[in-house]
Structure 1
């Protein structure tokens, strides 16, 4: 299957459109430039449907998510697991959590995900993911949502809209786990993968492309007098190690990679009014503090963090507790103090992740072709001034808060 065509699209959509409608036209185009999404190919697919009874027509605006064409990236992102997990997220996990909320009398159930119209692993009905695998999702851009520029970062009103949904996203699975443990174990937990990237393999030239050099980080931080003494500690933290298992009862369904590019915001008259979370290839069983910590320190404006960090954590916690109470769950184990302890525990692992991610993903300059540079291609001068400022600011904040 190529970027210009999805074979047997009518068969794929049959479960959604049924026998009463037919596809009369389709238009395909790349939604993102090559190199912007290593883990998948995203296509914009506009489908014209015709009603067989009255010949009326309607437009279905979708995004097709395909597996990478390169075999290395297929292995790197473990598509044999991630593709199945993402399909299960939309057709099993989300309906289970929404049903639970409704039965507990929650008036506004979680709806901060794109709709999935159809999906498949292949054309032969087996359990193997191949090049014909596809998720056909709602095109959120057509619905008025957009990604906030990662170089701009979230302002205060926007991050509060996002945090409100993140708190609910974390609270509902915890309540389900505590109140309906069998349902959680059968409908949610099997799809929360314990994914860890493999340790760096210095002998594999493909893997080396994604091994960021700590020397670039070191050069940036060494230039700042306050950060300079912390470089040896950060160098030690940069060595590969497995992520710690989450503490109970805090462990919940987490996104695992929740930053500004994996959520889309709708604005009305310049004000953020709604949010949609995307990219569920790797939902994880983790502490909610992991998603919270990573979002705040990777994706929020520095002046907002300086003035409002504690209040943002408190705001998240208030929404989190309200949702647990609405679901008739005992909230006594989930105090703000315990959340802050979780944040401190996460900091030990996430400090270096935020630094590396900021330098090599968020704030790295593109190459001459306008594509992201591979980590092994980067030099200090390829990191934007915004990126350098962010990691220096972040490391100083970690020192003040006792995380380093």
Structure 2
């Protein structure tokens, strides 16, 4: 099924779920229509549309209009569809929203959108845009202290829901839903599309290092180019669930476009996490340090990272206490601090792997919208496009330089 042939039966089912009434008992579907959600968050791994539905709940009342946000697999580009099928992202997200998130939202309801339909290749959500939520970052992908603290509250709520669910059910999410948390971003298999994608990304980043003013004339350049891939490859070990730390259901994809914010007087007061296509079962610090690294600069982190980490820990404790659980019994501060030290580089690795693609200037990303252009970027032209962006676009150059310099200076040359 795709949104283009969304059936009246499915739409009726949506209305029933939304209104908690049977169609046969007072809710009549009058009409529905679809349009592109061009002004909504654009997704590389999904096609977005808005569904408008007119229903009649009572003959004596005015018809009611309902609006939903629809996400479908982007079948319009064959090469991208093949990539996503091997990547397994859409199948995973449907399973997350169909099988697990409703149970977590029974415990904590404020971290993600409500999903009213999840099946095959289609997801239908409440329309966060109509509820006043929007992105908080410009093209640079940077978020300020207020936005990050707001986002951390939603993340702490998600992680708390995972802990509360496992405590009440006496079963681990990884055992109940292994397909939901199977690692698909950095899989252990060496002969898969994600490994190829990772290797190509690291090559492109090394090409950038070669022309960076900070390193191109350094007598340590060859050493840096030798060590940089080794540091980056640590990501494959970091995502393996560990017995050393508490593991929780984790989002796995926390960059700026997967966070939406609601505002009062221009200040973010609520946030929602979207796109659960890379979900995993891992120590909570992997999500936390990713959120606090990808949309921030090295200077920002030197000033605010410690206080934001404490803020997350406090909020996690608050949500757990609401359900009679003590954070010190579940995630002692010493264990949390140990995980910070062990996984801190994970955020920088994710920053480089995400941002060399996500903050490309618009004119260069247009090549990804065609079948030929998509395959060209991932297999042939990544180096060319990334180097062109680095040489011609100030935002791209400054952001990538900041990330790479932090890895090199903090972990390779330190």
Q: TM-score over 0.5 for the alignment?
A: yes
> Partners in 2 of 1:336 and 1:182 — Cα distance?
24
> Deviation of residue 221 (structure 1)?
4.1
Q: Superposed, which structure 2 residues align to 1:53-132 within 5 Å?
A: 53-54=59-60, 56-69=62-75, 70-78=77-85, 82-99=89-106, 101=107, 109-121=108-120
The 3 A distance-change label for structure 1 pair 235 and 242 is closer
Gaps of 5+ in 2: 17-21
1:268 aligned to which of 264, 267, 270: 264
> Partners in 2 of 1:348 and 1:80 — Cα distance?
24
Q: Normalized against structure 1, the TM-score is what?
A: 0.80
The 3 A distance-change label for structure 1 pair 210 and 66 is farther
Correspondence 1:389 to 2:398: yes
> Deviation of residue 318 (structure 1)?
1.5
The 3 A distance-change label for structure 1 pair 15 and 365 is closer
> Deviation of residue 397 (structure 1)?
4.1
Correspondence 1:234 to 2:228: yes
1:324 aligned to which of 320, 327, 330: 320
Question: Would you say how many aligned residue pairs link Structure 1 and Structure 2?
Answer: 380
1:312 aligned to which of 308, 311, 314: 308
Correspondence 1:352 to 2:349: yes
Is the 1:150–1:261 contact (alpha carbons within 8 Å) kept by the matching residues of 2?
no
Is the 2:142–2:256 contact (alpha carbons within 8 Å) kept by the matching residues of 1?
yes
Correspondence 1:7 to 2:13: no
Is the 1:152–1:301 contact (alpha carbons within 8 Å) kept by the matching residues of 2?
no
Is the 2:162–2:248 contact (alpha carbons within 8 Å) kept by the matching residues of 1?
yes
The 3 A distance-change label for structure 1 pair 236 and 90 is closer
Deviation per CA, 1:373-402, whole angstroms, max 9, x where unpaired?
835251423133233323333344456765
> Deviation of residue 360 (structure 1)?
2.4
> Deviation of residue 316 (structure 1)?
1.0
Deviation per CA, 1:324-382, whole angstroms, max 9, x where unpaired?
33333352462333223223332455533322322222x21233684658352514231
The 3 A distance-change label for structure 1 pair 142 and 39 is same
Correspondence 1:290 to 2:299: no
Structure with greater helix percent: 2
SS at match of 2:294: helix
Is the 1:163–1:316 contact (alpha carbons within 8 Å) kept by the matching residues of 2?
yes
> Deviation of residue 216 (structure 1)?
3.3
Corresponding residue for residue 139 of structure 1: 127
> Partners in 1 of 2:168 and 2:6 — Cα distance?
44
Q: Superposed, which structure 2 residues align to 1:251-262 within 5 Å?
A: 251-262=247-258
The 3 A distance-change label for structure 1 pair 399 and 379 is closer
Deviation per CA, 1:200-233, whole angstroms, max 9, x where unpaired?
879x9xx679933233332354544799564432
Is the 1:254–1:288 contact (alpha carbons within 8 Å) kept by the matching residues of 2?
yes
> Partners in 2 of 1:183 and 1:290 — Cα distance?
18
1:155 aligned to which of 138, 144, 150: 144
Over the residues paired in the alignment, what is the CA RMSD in angstroms? 3.6
Is the 1:302–1:390 contact (alpha carbons within 8 Å) kept by the matching residues of 2?
no
Is the 1:89–1:280 contact (alpha carbons within 8 Å) kept by the matching residues of 2?
yes
> Partners in 1 of 2:205 and 2:408 — Cα distance?
19
SS at match of 1:182: coil
Deviation per CA, 1:295-335, whole angstroms, max 9, x where unpaired?
11111355532311111111111112233333333524623
> Partners in 2 of 1:60 and 1:186 — Cα distance?
37
> Partners in 2 of 1:223 and 1:303 — Cα distance?
17
Corresponding residue for residue 217 of structure 1: 208
Is the 2:241–2:282 contact (alpha carbons within 8 Å) kept by the matching residues of 1?
yes
Corresponding residue for residue 19 of structure 2: none
The 3 A distance-change label for structure 1 pair 77 and 369 is closer
> Deviation of residue 197 (structure 1)?
4.9
Corresponding residue for residue 338 of structure 1: 335
Q: Normalized against structure 2, the TM-score is what?
A: 0.78
Corresponding residue for residue 130 of structure 1: none
> Partners in 1 of 2:275 and 2:100 — Cα distance?
14
> Partners in 1 of 2:64 and 2:182 — Cα distance?
38
The 3 A distance-change label for structure 1 pair 208 and 170 is closer
Corresponding residue for residue 162 of structure 2: 173
